[in-house]
Every structure is written in structure tokens, then in C-alpha cells.
Chain A
Amino acid sequence: MTEPSKKAATREIVERNLPARYRSESRFRTAGIVAIIVSVIILVLLIGSIGLKSLPAYTAWQIHLPVALDQALVDPEGDSSEASIRQGSFGRVLQNGMRETFPDVSGRSNMRSLFQLYTSLNSTRLMDQVIADPGLIGSDYVFTMPLGDDLDLYLKGMLVEDRSVEMNGVLEIEAGRRRTNIQSQSADFAIVLAELQQMMIDEALSLESRAAANRTLMASVDAEEADRLNEEAARFDQRAQVLRTDAAGENGQLELSDDLPSVIVEFRGGAIRMNRLDLNGQGGSGESILSIAENRSDEAWTLYVVDTPQARRRIPDNQLIWTRALVERGIVTQAFNHYFFANADSREPELAGIRGALNGSILTLIVTLLLSIPVGIATAIYLEEFAPKNKFTDLIEVNINNLAAVPSIIFGLLGVAIFIDVFSLPRGTPVLGGLVLSLMTLPTIIIATRASLKAVPPSIRQAALGVGASRTQSVFHHVLPLATPGILTGSIIGLSRALGETAPLLMIGMVAFIADAPKLSLEGFTEPATVLPVQIYLWYSAAERAFEPRAAAAIIVLLTLIISFNAVAVYLRRKFERRW
């Protein structure tokens, strides 16, 4: 037959198909590159946004408060013993320190507000410091404590909208009994005044339009509903009317309510919170917050406007003013937030830290590691290398694969049913958590180990058996070393999954509020603890806004741990990888 023509035909067919083949190849490559780019972008966005959110958690504004540790207050028994110090009134010491710092603040409610610049939990910290060093008794001491969480956020610019405006007219201050009048030579307040009036008018306009909307709606609803709408419209109108009257002012002055931005006049050594502004824009009256008002005139002063109305924020104007004064005086400074890394959880965000959760995670992971890795690897070796292949081992194999697919929360239930109900292990402890997580990681480790044992070429086993090695020797001398990289990778990935696990731990009670970090020692295993992912969950669901950056920072810590785990896995794989 015609051999050459046949050959040519094959060639023709191949050449005809070639472009299509190359096209599909390049399509595939493009798809791969796109997929990689997309996943990198998503990863960067994810870590970037969490990282950005976590930034405020890494620094803390702290008060360096001078306090007098009077013996009578801190050591009532006078013997410097721990028992005596524990009876001391450290809260009073702190309050006295604040009083000394702001001698001109008076009045009960002002005082209470002043003492809210920090949390009262700090008195215990002061006590602990004195117990640690009784030599401090009787001395003057500078106690460092974190500023309250809201004020900390305020100084980080996250709580309110505010602005400062430099003024140039000479300010005349005239101290009255109830209020302080101020007068500037030029119309320095005119712009702010106009803004405030405009706000009130805008508000009135919007109320009026809502009233109008109600009235048009009335035509298309039944009588009862129409009545309700009409009533509401009347209320809107009434409020709009009040606003318009207020905006026009009374007795030549505009009254500043808590629903309007706060206007604060700041000058050297003092601050006045304005209650009324003169309609001529040249002055007004208010209350002196920092110091007892006295008649004086000042050339250097600023207008500090907090656009977020006092009624709509958690911290009042006077706390803002005190905090600003403390920053000015250098008593409040910003530093690395060591509380976050040294402390356990706290109900006050400024004192809350990840130490407890981190220790809990470490202890839990140690238990998981000690249980799941030896048991998992041993099981896999037995099943893969020694077990007879029959129905029963097939059943076990299928079950192990199924276990790997079981949702983790089920393991939590199992943990409750077995370890708590049957063996009555203490709830919420690292031992229990480690046991439950071991159940969860075992199948992963077994499957990874079996896969890497399977990947060892049978010729190696034959070679070992051929020179007379026993089965155990051939496995431990030859197969296992070759499978090590895969086993390590599988185990570490299983463990890092355990590190990030939340659901089963919630079930077994590792969700409690733990104010004392469990010790990294033998007792630590049986003390109640929580773990990083649970801590993140707790903080994200907490009410205080200041917990949010801390939760994000805890995520960064967790991610760092998990990523370094995986990096170790990659490193070990590279190191032990052998080729044949």
C-alpha cells in the first residue's frame, strides 16, 4: 500500500489540529495566571484591610499620673504586709492624683466625669505594684495607666469629627458667678455661628418636607392611618417651628443645645465650653472647664469645634477638654500597647490583651500535637503497611475518610458527650480542647500520612525486603524517611487548622471570660482557658468599639502563627525531600 502518503496524512492532521491545541494551551495558561492574580489580590485585600483595622490596637495613650502613696491610704495597718496593702484605698489614691492634677474642678458630677478618664480596674494594678515593691509606700510615685478606651479612640481620631480654628482677635474674658462671658474684638465666631444656624434651618427644612410627605400620603390610606400621619406631620411642623425660632436667637444670642456641635474656646491654661453665642459673632458665654475663671485678656486662642454633637457620643465635652489638656502637659502620651501583648482578657478594652488566649492556644495545641500526631501516624502506618486488606479494614478506611468531612462542630458535641459527660473532664480547659481538636485533626493526619506512604515507590520496599529486612525495618528504615516530608506537611496543616478552630471549642466551654492568663506549665493544662479564634469571636461581638481593632490585631497574630506554621511545613518539606 502507499506508506508515504499515509505518513503525510498523519502529518497533515496533526498540523491542522495544532493551532487549536496551542490555543487551548494558552487559554489554560491565561486562566491560571488570572486565577493566581485574583487570589493574590483577594489575599492582599483581606490581610490589608484587617491590618489597617488593627493599627489602632498597637499603640496606647497612657496617663502618667503623679500620685502620693500616703501610708494611711495604702497601708492602713502600717506594717507594709501584703494583707495590709490589700486593704488600702488605691481608688482614692488615683482620685487624689486626678484632683491634684486638676485642682480647679469642682462639683460632684464633674468629679465623677473626671474619674472616668481611666477605668477603676487600674487601682488593682497600682495595688499589685505596691505589693511587689512595698518600698513605694509613703513616696510620690508616677503611676502609668492606659487612658479610657473611648478617649484613646478620640485621640486616635476615631471617635468624633472635630477641627481647630486659629483666632487672631484679642479675647476678653469676664468671669461671672454662674457663667463666663467672652468677647473678641473682631467677629471671630461669625463663621461658626452661621454654620450652626444653617444646620438648624436645614434640619427644620427636612422636618417640614417630611411633614409635607406625610400629608400627601394621607390621601391614599384609610382614615385611621391618615389620622396618625396627620398627627406626626403636626409634630414635625412643630419641631421645625421651634428650630426656626431657636435659629433666629433670643436676646441677641443663640443657645447651643447638646444636639448641636460643641464650640470650645481654648487658650493658655484654660478652656471655655460655649453655651451661647452672640448673634453679632463677636462672643458669647459659657462655662470654664479647666480653671476657675478670672478676668483676663488673651491674644493666642483657638476655637475648637467638635462637629459630633455631645448627645450623640459616649464622652462629654469636659472629658475631651481634660484629655487635651493632659496631652498638652505631657501627662498623657502615646506608646506601644504592651497591655495588648502582656495582659489576658479584660472587660475594659484598654486593659484587654491576647496573652490569655495565646497561652490557651499554645497549651491546647500541645495537647493536640502530643495526641494526634503519634496516634495518627501510627494508625496510618499500620493501615497502610501492615493491616490485611479485607472488608473490615476497608470499612475503617471509608470511615476515616468520612470523619475528615465531618463538620467540626460535631466533634464539639462528641467532646461534650464523651469527655465531659462520661469522663467528667473539667470544662473549658486546654486538655479537653486538645482532646476534641485531636479527634478533628486525626483523620487529616491519617489521610496525609497514608497518601505519602503510598507515594513511596514499591521498589524501595522490595529492595529492603530483598536484603532480608523485616517488614517493620523496611517501613522504619526506608519508607518512613521518604514519607517524612509529606507526613510533616499533612500534620502541620492539620495542626494549623486546629489552631484556627472555633466551633467545637465553643461547645466545650472554652468561651468563658478569662481574666488571668493560664500559666504555661503543667497546671495550665487543667485551668480554664480560651483560645485565639474564640477570643477574636468574643471581641468582635463585644459592645465597646475599642475591641474592634483589638480583634483585628488578634487576627493578625493568629494569621502570623498559622502562616509561620505553614512556612515551617514548606521548609521541612524542602529539607527532607529526596529524589530517586
Chain B
Amino acid sequence: MTTAQAQATLYHDIPEARDVKVAIAGVDVHYGDKQALFDVSMQIPDRSVTAFIGPSGCGKSTFLRCVNRMNDTIDGAVVTGSLKIDGTEINDKTIDPVVLRASVGMVFQKPNPFPKSIYDNVAYGPKIHGLAATREELDGIVEQSLVKAGLWGEVSDRLTDPGTSLSGGQQQRLVIARAIAVNPEVILMDEPCSALDPIATAKVEELIDELRENYCIIMVTHSMAQAARVSQMTAFFHLGNLVEYGPTEEIFTNPRERRTQDYITGRFG
């Protein structure tokens, strides 16, 4: 696919009310000799949920990792192209990934709480970034984050228990609380509900919907229904290419590309 074609498939009409938060242009990712992403360009709006869909191995997680430069931690991964957040180039050696990651939180595919207490899990980010001057402030941040993540009611009386003692769904909400505790601008979520039952999924979706008011959320999901329910924008990836990107409604009701339609309707993938 040429760059011109890729540009053509980009959604051109981002609603005025939503500013562009992340602007990506011509991103290639190589793992050693193997290219995993081909010339991806897109603009992701602020204060909304953008869903990445596509068959397994198509490069969704890889692309997500570009946004907080987690690919830096993978040996042999090379990211080229331009990634801008609020107009600032982040795919640049002069940008400290530590600063970047403080403003771009990430929730991983599998819940990965620290083997520490629930409190320490949430308090860790604010502590290392020096966001709280006093113990009371820190307590406040922890409580707020847990409330936002919809976990406070379940854990308020057992904050010293290890985070790993929670159920899978609770752990997922705990790591979401951990991500929002540093008050990021962008939250990346890699299949946050893949390990959850419908009730927990509903809770997390509700949470994402609430978070949308203040954050730019990018999530990967394998559930078409979930993408349709919670996202405003949807991007469809296939074999390392961004095939189609646009408002969720449009993608699901009136896809431009044949491949998108086939995937959404379950004819391949």
C-alpha cells in the first residue's frame, strides 16, 4: 500500500470539539529483520476512546507500545517515523521515556500487579514521580484512583493485602487504578477485558466510559461488540497495515474496505 492510499483511508473529519491528541505519521516498526508495522499514519482525538481491532499478530500491541515507547525495552525493536503528542515529537532520543510514560499510562493484556500491597501498587507511581508531598496527599491519590477504577468499595478495608491476592477482574481494575494514579493524559489499554467475566467486563467498560471525559484512551480489543460499545473511533489493522480508521459507527455500519467488512462480520480473522 502506498502512502497516498494510506492517507486516503485516514479519517479526515475529526469533530471540531475534539482536538488531536496523538498524531502519527509514517511509522514503521522492525523487530530485527522482521517488519511488524508498515507506514502507519493516524490522528487520535483527545477525550475519547479509540479502539484498535484486527486479527491476532497484526501489530496492534506493537503499535500501542510505540505511543509510550515501550518498544525501547524490547531488544532489536526499531521504531521509525513521527509520533507527536500535543504536537511534541516523542519518537526522539532526546525525549526521556520516563517523562513520557508518566503522562502515557499503560494497562497490559494480562493483569500484572506488583507483588506488594494494594496500597503500594497504586501509590508507587505517584511516589517515584514525587506527586504527593505528604502521606495524607498520597492517601488521597490512592483513594481517588481506586474510586475511579471502581475498586474502592471492595478493597478499602484491606489496602495492606497483597495486590496479587485479588481476583483476576479486581487485579485488572487495580492496574487501571495504578495507571491513572499518576494522572496521565493518555491511557493505553491492551485487551483490558480479555481475562474478565461479563460482569467485570461491564464494570471496566463503564470505567472506561467515565475516564473518557478526562483522558485520551486507546484500547486494543478482540471484541467487536466492545469496540462498538465503548469506542468513538476505531482502527482496523491487518498484517501490519492500518487498513481503515474512522468513527466507530461508520466503520461498523459502512466500512469502506472489503477486508474491514469481512473481519467485522466474522468472515475471516
A positions within 8 Å CB-CB of B: 389, 457, 459-470, 473, 477-478, 482, 578-580
Contact = CB atoms under 8 A, between A and B. Distances in A.
Those 3 A-B pairs whose CB atoms lie nearest each other, nearest first: A468-B102, A459-B112, A467-B125
Given A462-B108, A478-B114, A467 B179 contact: yes
Contact of A579 (B75, B113, B115, B181): B115
Contacts of B254: none
B217 to A, nearest CB: 15
- The binding surface of chain B is classed by DSSP as helix
A461 B73 contact: yes
B86 to A, nearest CB: 17
Contacts of B124: 464, 467, 469, 477
A462 B175 CA distance: 12
Contact of A462 (B70, B97, B98, B99): B70
Interface residues of B, number: 29
Contacts of A478: 114
A580 B106 CA distance: 20
Given A462-B70, A463-B114, A470 B98 contact: yes
B125 A459 contact: no
B259 interface: no
B233 interface: no
B115 A578 contact: yes
29 contacts: A389-B75, A460-B112, A462-B70, A462-B73, A462-B108, A463-B112, A463-B113, A463-B175, A463-B178, A464-B114, A464-B124, A465-B70, A466-B105, A466-B108, A467-B102, A467-B124, A467-B125, A467-B178, A467-B179, A467-B181, A467-B182, A468-B98, A469-B98, A469-B128, A477-B124, A478-B114, A578-B162, A580-B113, A580-B115
Given A389-B75, A468-B128, A463 B108 contact: yes
Given A462-B112, A467-B102, 8 more contacts: A459-B110, A460-B112, A464-B114, A466-B108, A466-B179, A469-B124, A477-B128, A580-B113
A463, A465, A470, A473 pick with most chain B CB within 10 angstroms? A463
Contacts of A466: 68, 70, 101, 105-106, 108, 179
Contact of B108 (A459, A473, A579, A580): A459
Interface of B: 68, 70, 73, 75, 97-102, 105-106, 108, 110, 112-115, 124-125, 128-129, 162, 164, 175, 178-179, 181-182
Nearest to B112: A459
A315 to B, nearest CB: 68
B95 to A, nearest CB: 13
Contacts of A470: 98
B176 to A, nearest CB: 12
Q: Which of A462, A464, A467, A470 has the most CB of B within 10 A?
A: A467
Contact of B101 (A457, A459, A467, A578): A467
